Structure 1
Amino acid sequence: MFYGWAIVGSGFFMSIIGIGSRYCYGVFLKSLEVEFGITRMMTSSIFSLYMLLCSIIAVFSGWAMDEYGPKRVGIFMGTFTGLSFFLTSMANSAWQLFITYSLLFSLGTGAIYTIVNSTVSKWFVKKRGLVVGITSSGGGLGTFIMAPIMTYLISSFDWRTAFIVLGFFTWIGIGAMSLLLRRDPHDLGLLPDGDQSEPVQGGVTKEAWEVPRGDFSPGQAYKMSQFWILGFSWLLLSLSFHLIFVHIVPYAVDQGISPMDASFILSLIGISNVLGRIVLGKLSDLVGRKSLAITSALIQAGALLWLMWTHRLWMLYVFAIPFGFTFGGSSAMITALVGDIFGTRNLGVIMGILIAGFALGAAIGPAIGGYVFDVSGQYFMAFVAGTFSILITAFIIALIRRVPDQ
């Protein structure tokens, strides 16, 4: 079997563990709020600072991967992720969470998306949309699994016990999966896709490749409009998604829904995210990425409009499925477009910088939600902001145009 599939499997499980643990924060939010007597805005800011630091780390993660290889970087990530959760469980003051969670957890997972997806993109060309969809879908599956487990641990024991369990699991899991990673197929004397001769970038429609077919340096990439379009679209998409992911559980609990039922909303978003990344990622290899990404963004905006007037549990479940599915698809297609546009030679550095925009959006979104709630006592205007950010995303993705080959 082509070793590239071992890379995909390793990246998939790293995403389950690393991204899944990231998206569990919403189930801890009210416990931290009560424990330390802090506002919704301040509790949200712990996660926002974490994502802001991730945006900085993402810039350097591509360089670190190209310099030291994904295996060494992955082991470093697992160590700091476990350490972060262990120390967070011992915090006795809110300010300490900004160090134990925000800083140390960002050192542990700030590079994970870059490492996983830029690595698999080097191993596959013709199936890039599919494999990126698979690896990035791990975060959705991780959320589906971890959110109810963490909720159970919090309700049966306490939030500190939940963080200890999470720390042990992430430390061992990320470190073990990192041992399977290899920089690119040439390290093992192989070619992308397991081909026996140098591949051409085929297997997708013209629209999927309506971009240059060369390997661009970071300096060249920064001068291209596609670079800034993709970066800004990732920022806005992430802003909307993380606003919901951090605040949907407290929003539901505030409506009188039990914490366990509310955590299942996260699980539904997570599992729908998995399906969206795989199904739409594969479909984008066949019909083209841009139009499909625009359609997904518009459906996601429609789901947010539904959420604005949603107060019952079944309505929240109905919201979760299309929201998670289309976010997963949009994110996977934008990720694949990065490799399509800029090539794979400098993909680690280029994707690391672009993912900084994603992380910045993830820092802004939860902060907006917390501020709006503290000022107004509700989330309506925060959901409006999330909807507009998705509509702008659809518009700017439409601006991507083909440029001549190098």
Structure 2
Amino acid sequence: MTTTEAPSALPYREVTDRNGRTYRIGESDIDIMGRRRIWMVILPWVGMMGISSAEYAFASAEDTLHNAHGWNSLHIFWIMGVWVFFQAAVAMPVGHLRESGRFPARLAMMWGAVGTFLGYLSLAYAENPIWAYLGFGFFSGIGAGAVYATCVNMVGKWYPERKGGKTGFVNGGFAYGSVPFVFIFTGFMDLHNFRWVLVSIGVFLALVVAVAGFFFKDPPKNWWPADVDPLKAPDDPRARRALAKNPPSVKQYTPREALRTGRVPIMWFCLLCTSGVNIFGIAFQVPFGDDMGFAGGIVATAMSLKAIVNGTGRGVIGWLSDRYGRKQCLIFVCVVLGLAQFGVLLSGQAGSMPLFLLCSMISGFGGGAIFPLFAALTADYFGENNNATNYGMVYSSKLLSGLAGAGLGSLVVGSWGYTGAFSLAGGTSLLAGVIALFLYQPGRPRRSMIKPNPKPISREVM
């Protein structure tokens, strides 16, 4: 053991396991930021709710925007597709800037707040759809991407020993935060009040994002909870089970190293398929329900239930993945999401309202659960230090899935009808489940358990 003097720093030790991974232990969450680390779950959750309505409630405003500005349905779906494109496009560059220290978490959240406001302002006053593409698609999309990349990766840094449930909970805010706005857009907003409603929502949500982000703080690189020994099985049964099912990465992979493992392309393709199916359902469930003759209230209820289950499902699947394994849960979710597309189609065509609501909820569960699984899986495979960048590479698949699910989805519906479109969506998700079978953690045998390092290396900093 060697000792290095660092009078200005908090006391900590760095220990290295048999794989060469370094853990920084000895500092508590209160030592670092003056509050319990649970706040780095609650505040990111609030921040995610602040950006959720832009994706999950946007389709509910279609009729009003169409009548108010004269936009056709194709314009509206492409505006949403552009938003998704830029929301995903900034994930990797924001992650890189975040990890390099040039884009602090607090600043990223302020950017997100400004983008959120500009997005709703453009929807309120943009007679020409070009301005909506710029204000909502570009600025709001970039702002939401900065918030998403910051919030999702923040929780994994503070809970490296059991990140699944916490990541899922935070990720869930991205869905069910939109629920009240679905009802506002479908049941309250009209041609007489749409401008002040949209501007008021923009101001409110921008404040939510900014206030939550003001208190963000990252832990030091390699930080590990002081009460969890990384070199042996922890005493906490929850942490012990989570680490047994999802062992930590064997090292802190750089983005280049992560790409070389071959796992990133597999994860990228699986997320491309499943997130495209999810966005397709978000964009077309409301018009499909209308065309099938369901009352507007039923369609709004179905969309709200979809958003609620989409959000809560993220937390549930995160908790389940801690217990049963990330890969196993991912395959299960791909199958559920695929089968749900056929269920939504058949129940709508049969005019069965209860079954339509049920299948919509199941689809929402599957569509939401994929995101925390990939976020946690990326940290499991490649470590926490570069997770924002590494997950940004995986999440960049949403660049294409947003355009495919919303924009190209409208073309498929026009050419093949809802039967062909929902069948294609279901088959795509099932294909992703097959591809996920080829995922396994780099640097470890196919089946592995955490074992203590018989000769740990330690460096103590006083």
Cα offset for 1:200? 6.6
Q: 2:441 aligns with which of 396, 402, 406?
A: 402
Aligned-pair CA distance for 1:21: 3.2
Distance in structure 1 (CA, Å) of the matches to 2:45 and 2:399 = 20
Q: Does 1:195 align with 2:227?
A: yes
Task: Give the conservation status (yes or no) of the 8 Å contact 2:245–2:323.
Answer: no
- Map 1:182-221 → 2, pairs under 5 A: 182-184=217-219, 186=220, 191-193=223-225, 195=227, 203=240, 204=242, 206-209=244-247, 212-221=249-258
Among 93, 105, 110, the alignment partner of 2:140 is 105
Distance 1:329 1:56, change over 3 A: closer
| Aligned with residue 181 of structure 1, among 216, 239, 248 | 216
Match of 1:256 in 2: 293
Cα RMSD over matched residues?
A: 2.4
Greater shift in the superposed pair: 196-205 or 310-319: 196-205
Distance in 1 (CA, whole Å) between partners of 2:442 and 2:132 is 46
CA contact (8 A) 2:69 2:126 kept: no
In structure 2, what is the equivalent of residue 57 of structure 1?
A: 90
Q: 1:280 to 1:31 in 2, by over 3 A?
A: same
User: CA offset at residue 153 of structure 1?
Assistant: 2.9
Alignment of 1:240-389 (within 5 A): 240-311=277-348, 312=351, 313-375=353-415, 378-389=417-428
Cα distance in 1 for partners of 2:226, 2:171 equals 21
Cα pair 1:41 1:374 within 8 Å, conserved: no
TM-aligned CA deviation for residue 31 of structure 1 = 2.6
Match of 1:12 among 19, 42, 45: 45
Paired AA for residue 258 in structure 1: A
* Partner AA of 1:338 in structure 2: T
- Deviation per residue, 1:291-324 (Å, 9 max, x gap): 1211121122111111122223323211122112
Corresponding residue of 1:69: 104
AA of the residue aligned to 1:74: M
In structure 2, distance between residues paired with 1:222 and 1:300? 27
Is the 8 Å Cα contact of residues 258 and 390 (structure 2) preserved in structure 1? yes
**CA distance in 1 between partners of 2:123 and 2:110 (Å):** 20
For the structure 1 residues 152 and 200, does the alpha-carbon distance in structure 2 shift closer, same or farther, using more than 3 Å as the test?
A: farther
State how many pairs are aligned.
401
Q: Which amino acid aligns with 1:367?
A: G
Change (3 A) 1:50 1:156: closer
Greater Rg, structure 1 or structure 2?
2
Matched position secondary structure for 2:347 = coil
Q: Distance in 2 between matches of 1:43 and 1:196?
A: 50
Quick check: 1:50–1:106 contact (8 Å CA) kept in 2?
yes
Distance in 2 separating the partners of 1:255 and 1:165: 33
Q: Hey, what's the Cα distance between the residues in 2 that align with 1:380 and 1:326? A: 20
Deviation, structure 1 residue 122:
0.6
**Cα distance change of structure 1 residues 173 and 362 upon mapping to structure 2, 3 Å threshold:** same
Identity %: 18
Q: Does structure 1 residue 148 correspond to structure 2 residue 187?
A: no
Retained in 2: the 8 A contact 1:58–1:110? yes
Q: 2:455 aligns to what? A: none
Q: Distance in 2 between matches of 1:322 and 1:330?
A: 13
Deviations 1:245-272 (A, max 9, x none): 0111122122333333312212111111
After superposition, the Cα gap between the structure-2 partners of 1:217 and 1:45, relative to the gap in structure 1 and judged at 3 Å, is same
**Which structure 2 residues correspond to residues 71-150 of structure 1 after superposition, within 5 A?**
71-150=106-185
Are residues 30 and 237 of structure 1, via their aligned partners in 2, closer, same or farther at CA, if it must alter by over 3 Å? same
Structure 2-normalised TM-score? Answer: 0.81
**Aligned mates of 2:283, 2:179 — CA distance in 1:** 15
SS state at 1:4 partner: coil
> Which 10-residue stretch deviates more, 6-15 or 190-199?
190-199
Q: Deviation at 1:352?
A: 1.8
Question: What is the CA-CA distance between 1:12 and the residue it aligns to?
Answer: 0.6
Q: Call closer, same or farther: CA 1:72–1:205 in 2, change over 3 Å.
A: closer
Structure 1, unpaired ranges of 5+:
none
Instruction: Give the drift of 1:33.
Output: 3.0
Q: 1:207 to 1:16 in 2, by over 3 A?
A: same
Give the one of 194, 211, 233 matched to 2:270: 233
2:227 maps to a residue whose letter is D
Name which of structure 1's ranges 151-160 and 387-396 shifts more when overlaid on structure 2: 151-160
**Is the 2:317–2:369 Cα contact (8 Å) retained in structure 1?**
yes
- Superposition deviation, residue 157 in structure 1: 4.5
More helix per residue = 1
Return the letter of the residue paired with 2:176. Answer: L
